[in-house]
Amino acid sequence: MPTEITLRLQINGEQVRRILPAHRSLLDSEHPRFWLYRSNQAAACGDFVIVDLSAPDPRRRRVWIVALKLGAALRRGGGPAGWQLRCAAAAVDELVARRVVAEPSFSLWSGDSAAVLTALGGG
């Protein structure tokens, strides 16, 4: 699978607020903490890949692969979205190749955007 198909668009915090409108304050800052990548759904790596850039060292950055499910509670591990997330590792491998992160580790989440953003904000 060509890497340019896996993660085709990187967007900044302002665009995150438009796509995931709930809890806007999470992403309001001069230096957005999260980078959001739009996944190619045909590549079965979720809807979005979220990277926490608060650590300057790529080895310490956290990654979530997210499958959005309107109105659903957050399910860590992907829950019923397992098929949609089956190639998540390919998306993270692409982030490693781009040197955004250094470790190919990640968490799988599924749920409504409000539930995802609440979890990212610590509750």
3-state helix, strand, coil in the chain (%, to 5): 35, 25, 40
Q: How many domains does the chain have?
A: 1
Poorest-pLDDT segment among 12-21, 45-54, 103-112 = 12-21
Which pTM was predicted? 0.77
Q: 38 in helix, strand or coil?
A: strand
Q: Which domain holds residue 7?
A: 3-120
Percentage of the chain surpassing pLDDT 90?
27
